[in-house]
Amino acid sequence: MRCIVKRLKRRLGGFFLAIVLLAFSLRVGAKAEIVYRSAAKTERMRVALTFDDGPHPRYTPQILDILRENGVHATFFTVGSNADAYPALIRRIRAEGHELGNHTYHHHRVGKMDAATLQQEISSCSDTVFAITGERPLYFRPPEGVCSCDVEEICDELDMTIVLWSVDTRDWAHTPIPEICENVRRNTRNGSIILMHDFIGKNSPTPEALRQIIPMLRELGFEFVTVSQLLAEE
């Protein structure tokens, strides 16, 4: 809503702005409540594992193997340039029942990106995924979780929901595996969206951490679902 008001102020005077806001308050208000999703409001012990930045030729197959061995489905926020480089992995992700999200084409920070470049970044990633799978992502996650009014507007135009996270494993910082697992155990709640990465530099801790996180959370009573399944709870 804040971004919408800001754009309208540039175009309208105070009186007409008040009329427009009154006319659209119900529609805009309802939408503003669901623009950003970092968790789901649910009483069920369900959580969503998400993986950013891939696919990666080494780590994504390892992660997919672990998920398959444990009967878990997850959501992968893919970078378009990596999807173009490894289309077979994108096809495998979908073939094994996982969900694909949009993480821009080049993984550049979008907060200060001009609207035209941002539109190209988001649309190109969706176009790439569509060319490989025949499906367009429903969810967008900005690199580093940095958003802007333009991000909101473009995602609105593309009918995409912005999905962030509520549990950051900090695997991207090569955090020791015991610390990753303890962080997840301590912070996971009903409806949590857990952030991990399938494209990191050398010696990624993510596959082994994932191997431990799945049974740990199951022992606590949690069930794993995709982002779309989690948000459908509401």
**Residue 197 annotated to the active site:** yes
Alpha-helical regions (H) of 71-204: 80-85, 87-95, 115-133, 149-157, 177-187
**HSE of 85 in the Cβ direction (CA atoms, 13 Å)?**
13
User: Which of 52, 53, 171, 198 is an active site residue?
Assistant: 52
Spatial neighbors of 43 by CB under 8 A, at least 6 apart, are: 190
d(CA 158, CA 1): 17
d(CA 180, CA 175): 6
Number of residues written out for the chain: 234
User: Which of 56, 98, 107, 197 is an active site residue?
Assistant: 197
Spatial neighbors of 58 by CB under 8 A, at least 6 apart, are: none
**Residue 52 annotated to the active site:** yes
Is the Cβ–Cβ distance between 140 and 163 less than 8 Å?
A: yes
What the block records as the tokens of 88 is 């077979």
What the block records as the tokens of 167 is 């549990």
| Residues known to be catalytic | 52, 197
